[in-house]
Amino acid sequence: MLGSLNQRATLRAQTLTPDGGGGYSATWDVVATVWARLEPVTGSDTARADRLESRVRHKIVLRRSNAFAAGQRVEIGARKFAVRALLDDGPQSQLLTLLCEELPGGIP
């Protein structure tokens, strides 16, 4: 199973820094770089106002760690994914599955 983790993935968590004017600036800081397996799950198109919006969901499987949480992001190459949920089979499992949605190319 661990041998099937064949892509380098960078996990990022959002950090909010006060901007001095009552607001915050957001940055995505690296939490970990790990080996992962990317598996497409579903895709859909939705008509929104004057454009078509595509959503592609993936499972990202990686070695179990406490560093991962919903709301984080994963980067594999130039692709970015928002972590929506974690599937944890318990402390005996070596692997953890992240349920993710691929982000459009223009999102930083």
Structure tokens at 92: 């005996």
d(CA 71, CA 78): 19
Residues 15-49 pLDDT 10s: 999 888 888 999 999 999 999 999 999 877 777 67
Q: What is the pLDDT of residue 51?
A: 72
Ordered by start, the domain boundaries in the chain are 2-17+25-102
- In the three-class reduction of DSSP (H, G, I as helix; E, B as strand; rest coil), residue 41 is classed as strand
Structure tokens at 47: 């008509």
Q: Indicate the DSSP class of residue 79.
A: E
d(CA 55, CA 64): 26
CB under 8 Å to 18, separation ≥6 — which residues?
A: 24
Q: 2-17+25-102 domain in CATH 2.40.10.270?
A: yes
Residues 88-97 pLDDT 10s: 888 888 899 9
pTM of the model: 0.82
